Copies of this chain bind each other. A is one copy, B any other.
Amino acid sequence: MSAARLPAFPFQVEAVDGAARAGSLHTPRGRVQTPCFMPVGTKGTVKAMPPARLRAIGAGIILANTYHLALRPGSETVAALGGLHRFMGWDGPILTDSGGFQVFSLKDTAVIDEEGVTFRSIYDGSKHTFTPERAMAEQRLLGADFIMCFDECPPAGASRDAVAAAVRRTEAWAARCREAHIEAGGAGTDGPQMLFGIVQGGVHEDLRRASVEGLVALDFPGYAIGGLSVGEERGATLETTEFTAALLPRDRPRYFMGIGDPAGLLDAIERGIDLFDCVLPTRIARMGTAFTAEGRLNLRNAEHARSTAPLEPDCPCLACTSFTRGALRHFVMQKEILGLQLLSDHNLVHLFRLVEGARRAILEGRFGSYKRTREAQSR
């Protein structure tokens, strides 16, 4: 293992309230205030959200997906087009996942060995092998600011032995990712890249602890908690998150992979998570469902057909400032693109405001009451 250090963007924890943290991550493309919800732009666009609008509503970091972009249009093509920032029309920070989660979840055909994973493309059935080195190379070509180690993410319900094997393999692969990244100078085609290690271990405390210890020995500048949004009970997820987050170095950002419901975000923040991502807000928007302080609202419900109320009072989003629930329902029922745009806008604005409120509350030492108030509203 190389003794060289991985590039890191400065991260400061500005305030702690219980386990909850408010911080700042100083990237070459701007400061990101944490906690921060990161919208997902799977194929290079956060669905239905123009980048200028994402910026206007306060998006900090956005995600893109190495699996999808490596297959379509290809990482070489993204690089030829100027790299991911130019490709996505987004000059703020971007994070790419490594493709591991998709390789394991999108196809039953994945064959795994110590070297990596061989799978068939969901686009054309062609055969591909992702190794830790290949995942790093793809992410260098894409050129995001934050990149992820290639990990093995076992399915929910996997046996303890299978989870233990995934922990061992994830650690071995993390060492290889680290090595490859250092060999490449710690940078992609578009500047320095901060590499996160991914903690696995399912809901087993000893395996999570082993995973953390293995990764921390490799001294990653940031750590992600993976493998917890694949079907477990929320209670077990939160217990594991609490336990795992407490083991992680306090001076490094912590990223919970794949949580995006309002209650879940507050639960994760409470347990010391700084970053989260999920397709949920934009995905349910496309199905006609809106987040509100009182819980989820399904616009397909006929009761909204003649409602002149906004989705939420006092919400500054494009939907709430200009449209009645009745009109929004019509757009949803008629599958009008504007309906997808407006509900995606609303759900992201709702989450950003929720997380921004959490950050203020942490800075002011009142996160507990903030969380209880929001939870009481949604019950």
Contacts and interface: CB of A to CB of B under 8 A. Distances in A.
Interface of A: 43-52, 72-73, 77, 80-82, 86-89, 305-306, 308, 318, 322-324, 326-327, 329-331, 333-334, 336-342
B322 A52 contact: yes
A305 B72 contact: no
Contacts of A331: 43-45
Contacts of A326: 73, 77, 80-81, 87
A246 B88 CA distance: 50
A337 B337 contact: yes
Nearest to A329: B73
A48 B82 contact: no
Contacts of A80: 306, 308, 326
A43 B334 contact: yes
A318 B52 contact: yes
A337 B82 contact: no
Nearest to A43: B334
A301 B187 CA distance: 33
Contacts of A330: 43-44, 72-73, 77, 87
A195 to B, nearest CB: 25
Contact of A47 (B77, B305, B308, B336): B336
B43 A77 contact: no
A45 B341 CA distance: 12
A131 B45 CA distance: 47
Given A44-B330, A337-B47, A337-B340, A322 B89 contact: yes
B50 A327 contact: no
Contacts of A45: 331, 336-339
B89 A327 contact: yes
A244 B165 CA distance: 81
A308 B81 contact: yes
